[in-house]
Structure 1
Amino acid sequence: MISVTGIVLITFLVIVIIFQFKRKTIVVLMILPLFFLYTQWYEQKNTSIFPPHMTDFQGAIETIPKINGKVISFQYKTSREILVVRYKMNSAAEKRSLKNLEIGTYCFLNGTLKEPEPRSHYYGMNYREFLHNKNIHWILEPSQVDTGSCVKDNKKSLISSIKIWRSKSIKQLEAHFTKNTAGLMNALVFGYREKIETETLESYQKLGLTHLLAVSGFNVGIVSYFLYLLFVRLGMVKELAYVLIAIFLPVYIILTGGESSIVRAGIMGMIALCFIVFQKKISPVVLLSIVCITMLLWNPLYAFDLGFQLSFLMTFVLITSISLYKTTSNTQLLLITSFICSLFSFPIILYHFFEFSIWSLPINIVYIPFVSLVLFPVAIVVAAVAHFIPSFLYVLKIPVQFLFEGSVSILEMVQGINGTLLLGRPSSWLFLFYFLAILYVFYEWERKDRFQLRFCIPLIIVIMLQACFPYLNPSAKVSFINVGQGDSILIELPFRKAVYLIDTGGTIAFDKEEWEVADEEYDVTKKIVLPFLKGRGIRRLDGLILSHADMDHAGGTEFILKNFPVGNLYLPENKNLGELEIEIIESAKQNRIQMSYLRKGMQWGIGNSQFVVLHPSEKNSSANNRSVVLWVKLYKTSFLLTGDIEKEAEHEIINHFSRLKADVLKIAHHGSATSTTNQFLELTEPRFAIISSGKNNIYGHPAKEVMNRLKEQKVTIYRTDENGDIIFEATKGDLKIKSVK
């Protein structure tokens, strides 16, 4: 797999080898192929032992069960491999019963094995790969989860006992504090971030503070320091104190969830303490290299974990940059440390999150000491009080919540001040140039023995190159975004002269009982469309065009209008406005966005691009038949985008446009049998057809009749439910098509 993760790992290893081993570089480089052969062998073994038809399982709950609405999920460890269990509960009583499930409980389950969903979005998470890297290959969907078939193990192992204590401590904090306060404390103390509110996580992410919520080396250092003070106060000799701390660190790794960053810090701490006890010295880089190689030998797939990459890369950079810390001022030390970490993490954050906050450096300078020296110790004290003196929590509740909620409010206020550099996902070659430019900064800094702003000129050039590249690109792109059962189409004109989004997708809400409501309802526009825009490096929409005001086409419009710059909002001309359409118009007015109404005959052009509105007409018709139908020509390639029109609207278009041709036809109404008549296909003569529909949707889209008509006309079919995101790239003499799958 060629990816940014591989580039990061190889870059890290090569830097370590060249700068640390010097004359032995060639020897070590010769060993690298052996390591890659080992990873290939490991990967071949990383397969499931279970056959797909297996239905009966017995094992123990491995992770804290997560309940979201009517769905409960957890990792389930059998004697042979780990599964992810996902179960839809049937009643409020069943939900109350299953809330009592905890880590270490043995359960007998009967159900169906399903493969994790593969990647279906260019700028989304690859869930199948994520689980594969954790040696998980199946999702088990039980027919029933009965607490009567689950028993608690009385002969718990030490590891299991620690995990159970961790789980109870997490739940105890959740029971006494607000969701956000408990979530932040659990993240800092136990490495458990599941219950932090989405807005808070986004604030930390956008301001480059996510690393503060990951238990890592600093946490290990603080805990070890306080333990050392405690043991010395108890009269222990230093050597015994070091040994006891080294013994405690594996327990601390389990307590904090065992993520790669804490494993790295914990192992380094144990080895360093052993060397101190035996009065031996070891180079920090050699120590880091030993830990890195050990972890990769244990599981080579750690290399694809973002936490592993950032943890080792940042630690290595700080260790090898020690010659730059020629200051006795703590403020200057903090400033240099924050600058180095922000600079080296910049390309990786950009690759995964597409944007970078210019407030990252000043906020890190303030929040690193605040979180490390205030929030973290307070969280530890509160967790200890919750375990030993729970009644005292009522005294701590108000001041602790004020402290944590106040810190979040400050972050949200800072985030509200526009300071985000949105560049999109850098290509592999650009990503490499970023690292070369950053290495040049540090090379010159060390060589000149002082930092000068001119060292950053190559880095600034790379940033400007990425920012300007879309405006130098002569190709046009039409992206059919996989939003499930809905539509969303992005059009980027040559040299990015304009960007149009046609429909936003939207999540259709069904009536639910109170117990079924999720903590956070899935928003397809927020989770898929917005990341697609940002991943493409788009900073503004010149036009947001709504084909019609159905929820699956326009349900995310208000979210886009509030969270993304939009120049113009285009709506179908319609005298009978529905509830959603009224809300959209009000939102556009509040956000001071200009509105235009589209009707048959309207057209506009930009450069070599042409837009013609074929529908709706003044004729009164159903909501679907009032959809905007747009004919778009980009160079020599034409696209016909049909919304949800049905055969009546198709016949009307046939009667008015007798010479209508289209190379690419967006099949109307998600492939419903009410559209895409033979006459319409014969008129348009498409080479390619796009069907935007949800996987296993309840409507049976696309209809077999439509598929048969397209096959009879020998049209090449692309489907978002099968192909994921689909991108057409048009140039003067060529048309390229690519999809995620």
Structure 2
Amino acid sequence: MIVSYLHLLHYRQENKILFLLLSSWLFWVLFFSYHHEKLDKIEKAEENVEKLLVKFAEYPTFDGNKLSASVHTIIGEKLALSYYIQTEKEKEELISRLQPNMFCSVNGTIKTPNEPTNPNAFNYREYLLTQKISYTLLVDTITDCREGKQSFYTQLLKYRHNGIHLINDIFSPSVAPFVNALLFGHKEGMEQEAMEAYQQLGLSHLLAISGLHVTVISGFLYFILLRIGMTREMVRYCLLIFLPLYVIISGAAPSVIRAVVMAWIILFLSKWKTAIEPLDALVISFIGFLLINPFIIYHVGFQLSYTVATGLLLSSFLLEKTVHTIHASFMISLISQLVALPILLNHFYEFSLLSVLLNIIYVPIYSLIVLPLSLITYSLLLIFPPIAQIGVSILNEFLQKLNHLAKWVHQFDLFHVVLGKTPLILILMFYMTIFIALYLLENYWIKKLKLLMIILLIPFTLQILFIKFSPVGEVVFIDVGQGDSILIRLPFNKGTYLIDTGGRVTFASEDWQKRNSNFDPGEHIIVPLLKSKGITKIDKLILTHGDSDHIGSVDHIMEHFKVHSLLTGNTIEKKEMEKKKIEMARRKGIHVIEVSSGMNWRSGKNTFMIVAPEKSAIASNDASIGIYAKIGQKTWLFTGDIEVEGERKIVQKYPSIKVDILKVGHHGSRTSTSEHLLSTIEPTIAVISAGENNRYGHPHREVIHLLHEHRVTVYRTDQHGAVVYQFLFGRDRMITIKT
């Protein structure tokens, strides 16, 4: 609907077509309403299955001891399969045997994918729906595997699979993933630091096969076929056949499908000398995509591909005014980054001020050197490998230099802007102002530059005021699994405090079991959550005690945020991990403060008092930092892992403390939360941070029973996800992420 409206404005169509637009709008409203109703119905109870026959739709992915793949059941239902391999020998057998169209008998559990348990977190269920998958299959055993009938489609997948392995074998480990991304749309194995640099600098689109790649590859093939003597008509037929095949070979991402469909339509209609506007071809591919899978609208690659393509096509009149190549490159880069920005902020919360400049440098290098050389080198590897080694050496050296430059630029925080997650109303305002700005540029060029800048700054200003300097204060008990992490954010950015960071619990494993990248709650949960709220600075990072499930992820917090002060207990005989975190903070120039009972601070009407540990106490659970606070309209007691003896000392020293909300100590262990504590502080709400189905059985039944006896409302992160308290101008509320 929006694309059609912009199309009509762009070409100054008659208003009589407004009826068609309204009809189109009504159709899509009904269409998406129907599919959202289907989405609400996918929730179902876990179903145990035995000897379920599944067919592998693709080559599985192996990451340490984990196998992941898309499979189809006999009735055609697509599932996301996960299996934890038992032995190294079994892993070797599965790697050598499993391939597309292979049938296996599995035992396991079918369940609905989990929804996010933290604010603004990645929605795995939504992502699977973009792949036309409604349920996951967690497998216990895989047996009786047999090959199915091979088809032309599976042969193409095999060709792609072999090509990826050939690149991995020939190129250096740091370069191979980049070449595979350019040729096959395969990004596995990419160095984490380089991938983050490309993403945050606005260069990741270079590694996603799209219109640029399709143009270069089609041009490369066109040139080769003409040189070997084919007629232009025959070359056109070859391209019409090649382009759909290329979709499969390149991984069938939304961006490549969009580019190929557009190119195919234009090429097909050229036979009858029938011209079709690129924007019309774009709309046709867009409608086709949504009719096949409406949930693809949630795919970030789909959103970026169509938004940027639409922005560039609608700006064609503006781009035609540019006379110099550098000027044209600047305008293309500026428009692309501008129209992509609201989507990038909505999904990734940040951008780089250097994106436009870096794209002017990197886009020509990738399109004129790296991609063509990758194509030529890969072709030579298949035909005459000795000569191909020249291209391999050049690409190894050249791409390493490019990646080193990207990582070097990425380290400068000065150009890095975190604005937080953009709400829908602001996304619409962003695009409204961008459209007006492009209209002014097209018609008045830079004559109305001041007006143009003011218009563009409006949504940025609102984003900063309502996201980075939000008037809403909050306390967030973050779901970090079996661990603790609590975010306290005061209104108007008057104070940001983080109590503990969670941490990854590690177990001894063999080399074959180790993952390429292990899940860390600090890196994958806390950092994105804080950035989604526009947070760049933490005023106080509070480490309650030295257990890894409380402070294990401190490294990632210090790496991504400016930390003003680190608060640690004034204790002796600290654990080695806590000592290392403190030393790391000092190396980074962070002010380290050892706190003990009686110390306090204030921010506006919000007060914080340390109630534990006693000065020079021996480091232990009972020597965790305890904080009594008045935040918003509530009084709080944060207890870390304080146990019964520590609770007794607090009550003895502060007998008059009354609390509205208690953070239950030690994840709800029976060694904490005594009758004496509850009788004294009289909480009305208790929050327990514990991992779902954790091996310790937290929270223990006795604790839950005791809390209920005292008529305390209990919130649990293992059941409710993150627990959030919000307050604004005398009003407050408690909400949970999972209902």
SS at match of 1:413: helix
Compare 90-99 and 462-471 and name the one that shifted more: 462-471
Using a 3 Å threshold, how does the CA distance of structure 1 residues 282 and 473 change in structure 2: closer, same or farther?
Answer: closer
Residues 416 and 51 of structure 1: is their aligned pair in 2 closer, same or farther, counting only changes over 3 Å? closer
Deviation at 1:115?
Answer: 2.4
Find the aligned partners of 2:732 and 2:679 in 1 and give their Cα distance: 22
Paired residues of 1:102 and 1:167 also in contact (CA < 8 A): no
One-letter code aligned to 2:649? E
Residue correspondence of structure 1 range 714-733 to structure 2 within 5 A: 714-733=711-730
Counterpart of 2:422? 426
Q: 247, 255, 262: which one pairs with 2:249? A: 255
**Partner letter of residue 573 of structure 1?**
N
2:273 aligned to which of 274, 279, 298: 279
List aligned pairs for 1:237-386, cutoff 5 A.
237-325=231-319, 326-386=321-381
Which residue of 2 is the match for residue 627 of structure 1? Answer: 624
Q: Which 10-residue stretch deviates more, 416-425 or 20-29?
A: 20-29
Q: Is the 8 A contact 2:572 2:618 kept in 1?
A: no
- Encode CA deviations 1:76-123: one digit per residue, 9 max, x unaligned: 123321111111111222222222233333322222223211111223
* Contact in 1 for aligned 2:113/2:135 (Cα 8 Å): yes
Cα offset for 1:564? 1.6
Distance 1:388 1:108, change over 3 A: farther
Label 1:717 to 1:226 Cα distance change in 2 as closer, same or farther (>3 A): same
Q: 559, 568, 573: which is aligned to 2:570?
A: 573
State the shift of 1:734 in Å: 2.1
Residue 248 of structure 1 and its aligned partner are, at CA, apart by 0.9
Q: Which deviations, in whole Å up to 9, do the C-alpha atoms of 1:446-473 show, x marking residues without a partner?
A: 2214475321212223213322346764
In the superposition, relative to structure 1, how do residues 178 and 392 fare at CA in structure 2: closer, same or farther (>3 Å)? Answer: same
Q: Partner letter of residue 233 of structure 1?
A: R
2:474/2:727 contact within 8 Å kept: yes
1:29 to 5, 22, 26: 22
Contact kept, 8 Å, 1:303 with 1:309, in 2: the verdict is yes
* TM-superposition CA deviations, 1:705-726 (whole Å, max 9, x none): 1111111222222111222222
1:55·1:113 contact (CA, 8 Å) conserved in 2? no
When residues 120 and 13 of structure 1 are mapped into structure 2, their CA distance, relative to the original with a 3 A threshold, is: farther
Amino acid paired to 1:371: Y
Tell me what 1:560 maps to: 557
- 2:432 aligned with 1:436, yes or no? yes
Q: Distance in 1 between matches of 2:182 and 2:200?
A: 19
SS in structure 2 opposite 1:54? Answer: strand
**1:92 paired to 2:88:** yes
Q: Equivalents in 1 of 2:534, 2:216: separation in Å?
A: 40
Which residue is equivalent to 1:406? 401
Q: Return the letter of the residue paired with 2:416.
A: T
Does 284-293 or 253-262 show the bigger shift?
284-293
Cα drift, residue 652 of structure 1: 1.2
Corresponding letter in the other structure for 1:327: T
Tell me: CA distance 1:177–1:236, structure 2 relative to 1, closer, same or farther (3 Å).
Answer: closer
**Which of 684, 689, 712 is equivalent to 1:687?**
684
Relative to 1, partners in 2 of residues 1:123 and 1:168: Cα closer, same or farther, differing over 3 Å?
same
* Aligned residue identity for 1:87: Y
Counterpart-to-counterpart distance in 1, 2:614 and 2:46: 57
Any idea what SS the aligned residue of 1:243 has? helix
1:686 deviation in Å? 1.4
User: Hey, what does 2:104 align to over in structure 1?
Assistant: 107
Question: Any idea what SS the aligned residue of 2:629 has?
Answer: strand
Q: 2:726, 2:45 → 1: CA distance?
A: 42
Unaligned runs of 5+ in 1: 1-9
Name the % identity.
33
> Which stretch of structure 1 is more off in the superposition, 564-573 or 397-406?
397-406
Q: Distance in 2 between matches of 1:495 and 1:535?
A: 16
Structure 1: distance between partners of 2:643 and 2:724: 25
1:6 — aligned with what?
none
Does the 8 Å contact 1:572/1:627 carry over to 2? yes
Q: TM-score, normalised by structure 2?
A: 0.95
Q: Distance in 1 between matches of 2:610 and 2:505?
A: 27
Q: Distance in 2 between matches of 1:479 and 1:264?
A: 40
1:173·1:386 contact (CA, 8 Å) conserved in 2? no
State the shift of 1:616 in Å: 0.5
Larger deviation: 54-63 or 349-358?
Answer: 54-63
> How far apart, CA to CA, are the structure 2 residues paired with 1:358 and 1:273?
38
SS in 1 for 2:429: helix
Q: Which sits farther off after the overlay, 161-170 or 70-79?
A: 70-79
TM superposition shift of 1:143: 2.1
Give distance in 1, aligned partners of 2:666 and 2:727. 25
Q: Identify unmatched segments of 5+ residues in structure 2.
A: none
Partners of 1:706 and 1:134 in 2: how far apart? 43
Q: Which moved more, 1:348-357 or 1:629-638?
A: 629-638
Aligned Cα RMSD in Å? 2.1
